[in-house]
Structure 1
Amino acid sequence: MAKTEPGVSGLQAASAQSKPGWLRTEWKHLKKNRELLLLAMPGILFKFVIAYIPMIGLILAFKYFRYDQGIFGSKWVGFDNFEFLFKAQDAVRIIRNTLLYNMSYIILGTVAALLLALLLNELSGKLIKIYQTTMFLPYFISFVLVGYITNAFLDHKGGYLNTIIGWFGLDPHKWYLETAPWIFILPLVSLWKGIGFSTLVYYAGITGISTDYYEAARLDGASRIQMMWRITLPLLKPLVIILFILGLGNIFRGDFGLHYFVPNNVGPNFPTTDIIDTYVYRALTKLGDINSAAAVGFLQSVVGLITVVSANYLVRKTDKDNALF
C-alpha cells in the first residue's frame, strides 16, 4: 500500500499518483519557484502581447487583404504574394547585397570585438571603465542621428572628409552619388555603432574564466600572447559559436536603419546600398502592398530559422558540446 506524506490527504495523494511523472515534476518545480514566476509574469505577458499575438497577421502573407473584409474575411491567394520579391527587377541585387553585407557584419564584428575584448583584458581597472563607456556610447545612438553624423563627414560641400581631401589638392567627392565607396562605408559605420556591445559580451566571457589557468601558465613561463592563444580563445570558443549561430538567424534580414538613413535613401547608390528591407519599405510606401510586405517578412523569418538550425546541426556534427541546442 502506497504511503502518503504527512499533511497530505489520501485524495490528494491519489490525484498526484494519477498524473504522469513529467507533469508531476513540472508542477512541483512551478510550485517551488512560484515567487520567481510571479516576478517574471509581467515580462512574459509583455512578450506574449508584443511578439506572439501579432503573429496572427502572418496569414496576410497568404491573402489578398482588403480593409472592408478584414484579415480573416479577405481572399486566400496561396503563395502569390511571395512572387513579389523574386519577380522584382532588382531581386538578384537586393538578395545579394543583403547576404553579403550581413556576412561581412558578422565576421568583421566578431573579429574586431574579440580583439578589443582581449586588449581590454590587459588594461587596468580605471582605464577599462573609460574605454568601455567610450565604445559603448554609439550603441545607444539611433540610426537617424548616425545618418546625420555620416552626412557631416560625407557632405560634398562642407563634409570633413572632403575638407581633408582638399588639403592634399584633390577634388571633392559626391559620396552619396557614387556606388563603390559604400561597400566600405556601411561596414565601418556598422562596426563603429555595434562594436561596444559585442566587445562587452566577449569581455564578460573573459572575466568569467578562472584565474587558475593563467596562474598555472605563468608558472610554466607562458607569455601574454601564448595565454591569449592557448587559454582565452579556446575557452571563449563556445560563446563565439553561439553568437555566430544567432547572428546567422538575421542573415536574410538586413539592418533597415543602417541601409536607409546612412546612405540617405539616394537612388544613385542603390546598387551597393539597397537590401531587401529597404526595397520592400519603398514598395510598401509607394504601392501600399501590405500583402507582399508580410510575405517577405515571413520568408525572412523562415530562412533565418532554417539557417540557425542548419548551422547548429553542423556544429553538433563537429563539436557537440558547443552546439546551441
Structure 2
Amino acid sequence: MSKGNTVSVPLAGKAKKRRNWKKYLPYYLLALPGIIYMICNNYLPMFGIIIAFKDLNFREGLFGSDWCGFENFEYLFASNDAFTITRNTILYNVAFMILTTVIAIAVAILINEIRSRVASRLYQSLILLPYLMSWVIVSYLAYAMLSAETGLINNGILEPLGLDPVSWYNSPQYWPFILIFVQLWKSVGYAMIIYYSSIVGISQDYYEAATLDGASKWQQIRCITLPLLKSTVITMFVLQIGRIFYSDFGLFYQIPMNSGTLYSVTRTIDVYVYNALMKNSDFGMSSAASVYQSIVGFVMILGANALIRKFSKENALF
C-alpha cells in the first residue's frame, strides 16, 4: 500500500506540472517577444563593457586590443564640457520627473471624472498620440513652429503683434523651456495611462462612503485618490531615478537640429558621446560613458529604494 502511494506522488506531481505548463503556455508565449527583446538589447550588449577598458583596434579585434585601464574614463571627465553635459542631463531629468508626474496625475484624475466612456477613450487616445510619434516627426513639427523664416510663431503670432521675429535656433535662452514643453507634450500621455489605470483600480466603495459623508470631489481626490496612488508614484519615481544620467537622444539631438549655438543648454551625456563618436570614432570613450551611466543609475536606484524603505517599507521595491 505504501509502495503504491510513493509511486503515485511523483506521478501526480508530474501531471500537475504538465497541467500548469499547458495552463500558463499562452502567458509564456505572450512574454517571449519581450524576453527576446530584453536579451538582445540589454544583456548581449553588456559584452561591450570590455571596450571601456580597451584601446580598441579593429585590426586586432576586441579581445586582441591592448588594455588601457581607466584612460577612457579619464578622457571623459577631463573634457571641458563634462560639467555642462552632466548638469544638463541631471537638471532636465529632475524637471521632467516632477512636471510629468504632477501633470499626468492631474490629467488622469480629470479623465476619470468624465462619465461618458466614448469621450474618456477619445481624450485618452488624443493625449497618448504624441507618445507614439517618432522624434523625427516631432522635430519637423517643432521646426514648422520655430523656423525663423517660415515658422508659425514668428509669422502667425509675433509679426501680427508688431514684435520682432526670433531666431529660435540661435537663441539658447529659450530652449530649456522649449525642451521641457516638448518632452511634456510627448510623454505625459504614457504616464497618464499608468496613473489612470491605478485610479480605475481603486474600489468605488471608498468614494461612495465619502459621498454619503458629504465629502466634495476635491476632498475625495485629496483624501482617497492621491494617498492610494502613492505606491504607483514611488515605483515610477524609483525607475526614473535609475535613468537620471540618461537623456532622450531624440529630444536633445533632433529637436534642436544639433545646432552648435545651442550646445550650452541642449547637449547632454548621450548627445556628447554621439558627437564624439561621429567626429573621433572613439568607441572606448563612448563605452566608458555608457558604463558610467549604468553604474550611477544602479547606485541611484539602490539609494532611492533604501531611502523609501526607511520611511515607508511597504512601498519599497525590494
Q: TM-score, normalised by structure 2?
A: 0.92
Partner of 1:274: 267
Unpaired runs of 5+ residues, structure 1, are: 14-23
Distance 1:181 1:46, change over 3 A: closer
* RMSD of equivalent CA atoms: 2.1
Q: Which residue is equivalent to 2:122? A: 130
**Distance change (3 Å), C-alpha of 1:128 and 1:320:** same
CA contact (8 A) 1:179 1:269 kept: yes
Aligned counterpart, 1:239: 232
CA distance in 1, matches of 2:138, 2:184: 12
Taking the aligned partners of 2:237 and 2:124, their CA distance within structure 1 comes to: 22
Q: Give the CA deviation at 1:246.
A: 0.3
Q: Which residue of the partner structure matches residue 243 of structure 2? A: 250
State how 1:68-147 maps to structure 2 within 5 Å. Answer: 68-124=59-115, 125-147=117-139
Tell me which amino acid in the other structure corresponds to 1:135: I
CA distance in 2, matches of 1:299, 1:90: 16
Partner of 1:61 in structure 2?
A: 52
Number of the residue aligned with 1:151 = 143
Residues 1:113 and 1:41: Cα distance change in structure 2 (over 3 Å): closer
TM-score, normalised to structure 1, is 0.90
- C-alpha separation between the residues in 2 aligned to 1:203 and 1:42? 26
Distance 2:110 2:266 in 1: 33
Check conservation: 1:57, 1:71, Cα contact below 8 A. Answer: no
Deviations 1:264-283 (A, max 9, x none): 10011111111111111111
Change (3 A) 1:28 1:214: farther
Q: 22, 34, 40: which one pairs with 2:21? A: 34
In structure 2, runs of 5+ residues without a counterpart are none
Which residue identity is paired with 1:34? Answer: W
Q: Which of 170, 176, 179 is the aligned partner of 2:169?
A: 176
- Pairing 1:297–2:284 present: no
Matches within 5 A, 1:45-56: 45-56=36-47
Aligned match of 2:7: 7
Alignment: residue pair count: 310
Q: Matched residues in 2 for 1:114 and 1:95: separation? A: 29
**Displacement, 1:168?**
1.1
Return the alpha-carbon distance in structure 1 between the equivalents of residues 38 and 252 of structure 2. Answer: 28
Q: Within 1, Cα distance between the matches of 2:16 and 2:145?
A: 57
- Determine what percentage of the aligned residue pairs are the same residue: 45
1:53-89 CA distance string (max 9 Å, x none): 2211211011111111111111111111112221111
User: Deviations along 1:165-203, whole A, 9 cap, x unmatched?
Assistant: 111111000010011100100000000001111111100
Q: How far apart are the structure 1 equivalents of 2:18 and 2:290?
A: 39
Cα pair distance change 1:4/1:139, threshold 3 Å: farther
1:21 aligned residue: none
Distance 1:175 1:29 in 2: 66
